[in-house]
Every structure is written in C-alpha cells, then in structure tokens.
Amino acid sequence: MKSRPDRKKSKGPLKTLERVISKAGLGSRTEARRWIAAGRVHVNGKLIQTPDYWVDLARDTVSLDGRPLRAGGKVYLLFYKPKGYLTTYKDPENRPTIYDLISGLTVPVFPAGRLDLDSSGLLILTNDTQFAERLTNPQHKVTKTYQVKAATVLSDEQIEKLRNGVTLSDGPTRPAVVKRVRDGAKHSVIEMTISEGRNRQVRRMLQAVGSKVLKLVRTAIGDVRIGDLAIGSYRPLTGQEIKQLRGC
C-alpha cells in the first residue's frame, strides 16, 4: 500500500516520489529509485526510501542530498574527471567519487555516460534526462574520442583491425577511427574514436588485437573537446556546444 497524504487536505496533484524527481529533470525514474533506496531523498525533512511514496507538490518539500528540488533550470557541464574517481554517488569501499569534486554545485546533476576508475577525461554532467539519453543511447551513434597509450608498439595490422572493428564477448564492434599519434621504444599512443558505449570497450578492443591499455583519456564527445580545462574542474557548456551535442 502506498503511503499518501490525505486527499481532503491535499492542495495539488499527488505524484509518486520517483516521478517527482524524474519530472524535475534530475534523472530517470530508474535513477530516482536508486537514489531513494540509497537514502539520498527526504520529504519535509523525513528520510523516505519508498519510491512510490505519494507527494503533494503544493505543500511537500522534496530534497535530494539536502538540496530542495526545483523543476526547470537545465544544467549542462563539461567536467574533466581525474583517474582514481568513480562516477557513482557513493562507494561501499569509500573510494573517492566525482561528487567529492563537485560538492559546490547547488543543483543535483548526473553523468551522461561513464568513465571507469582507471580512466580520465571528459564527462558531461546534466540534469536533463532526454539530453543524457541522446548522448548515451548507441542508436544515436554519438562519437567518443580517446587518447590511448598502449602497452606495446602497435603494428599497422593491429591498427587496421581496430579500424575495421573487432569481435568482443558481446559481439562485433562498429568500425573505429584510429590515428597513430606517436610511437616510442615500447609503446604506441593512438587517438581512437568510437560510436558505441559498451562497458570498457576501448580497453577490450586493445586486448582483442593483442595489446592492452596503459592510459586512457577521453578527449571529446561529438565535436565538443576537453580543451585546456584543468583536471578535476568543470565549466558550463556553451550554447553552441549544447546545440552540437543535440545534433549529433
């Protein structure tokens, strides 16, 4: 049975807590349920961990991470994630997360996509779920560009295999754009652009051609590049950058 305000006393429409969070543009309903279960949501100062808890928006105050929800106000940020930080909100092992670096934000945001613990580079942070879906859904083929330091010197044959696509445990990849940046005595550095977002895809593609990744930095999403942004910092996306990403 759903907990709910007294309808006779209600001044506005009743909505479930997960729907209120989603409609405020803070995340999907799936993400909202996860945040509620994690104890990040309060209603009128009371911890609520039931996603279908009924809320009266005319009189109830809903807060996420101690900040009252405010509908509207879309936020779009370019963030330079450092290596060694998770993109989740909390970690059971108490490892650092990107939220330790963006604690000064007054509006809750979430990453449109992920970078694993050992990777660094460009993340888009937003509260616009439709925008985030466009960037992360493989059907839209939004490109992601990485600078990769390989554990070996890559042959022309290995690079050509990456360009043509390789077969992974979850099926063949799409062709990639691969440029050789430089070769050292023991390592190659390449720039690699893919149009999918599989888990640890670039790392697995390097393994599939007989090498491995030593360093991975995402330098661009679509035509938006990380530029000279300092590591661990963020800035608002420009109107032109948002337009470019919407059109990818």
Q: What's the CATH number where 201 sits?
A: 3.30.70.1560
Examine the domain organization and report whether 55 and 91 are in the same domain. Answer: no
Are 149 and 216 within one domain? yes
E strands, the chain, in order = 14-16, 41-43, 46-47, 54-56, 62-64, 67-68, 76-81, 110-111, 120-126, 144-150, 167-168, 171-172, 177-183, 188-194, 213-221, 224-225, 234-236
Band the pLDDT of 82: cuts 50, 70, 90: very high
- CATH code of the domain containing 37: 3.10.290.10
Report the residue count for the chain.
248
Residue pair 37/49 in contact (Cβ under 8 Å)? The answer is yes
Does any domain span residue 197? yes
pLDDT at 21 over 70: yes
Query: Where in the sequence numbering do the catalytic residues fall?
Result: 116
How many domains is the chain partitioned into structurally? 3
Among 75, 87, 80, smallest CA distance to 24 is for 75
The region of weakest confidence among 4-8, 58-62, 71-75 is 4-8
pLDDT of residue 7: 42
Residue 179, by phi and psi: left (phi above 0), alpha (psi -120 to 50) or beta?
beta
At 203 the three-state DSSP class reads helix
If asked whether residues 46 and 83 sit together in one domain, one would say: no
Average pLDDT over residues 126-131: 88
The residue-averaged pLDDT of 71-84 equals 87
pLDDT band at residue 8 using 50, 70 and 90 as cut-offs: very low
Q: Is the pLDDT of residue 10 over 60?
A: no
Answer yes or no: do 167 and 212 share one domain.
yes
The average confidence (pLDDT) of the chain is 89
| Domain assignment present for 36 | yes
Q: Output the pLDDT for position 90.
A: 80
Examine the domain organization and report whether 200 and 88 are in the same domain.
no
pLDDT for the residue 72: 55
Q: Do residues 83 and 193 share a domain?
A: no
Q: Is the pLDDT of residue 208 over 90?
A: yes
* Token duo for residue 202: 């670039």
Do 125 and 237 reside in the same domain of the chain? yes
Distance in angstroms (rounded) separating the CA atoms of residues 206 and 170: 15
Are residue 214 and residue 235 in the same domain, yes or no?
no
Expressed as residue numbers, the domain containing 25 is 14-68
Both 107 and 154 in one domain: the answer is no
Report the share of the chain in percent with pLDDT over 70: 92
The residue to which tokens 């919407």 are assigned: 246
Percent of the chain with pLDDT over 90: 65
Residue 169 and residue 54 share a domain: no
Note the pLDDT of residue 128: 86
Three-state SS at 145: strand
Helix (H, G, I), strand (E, B) or coil at 164: helix
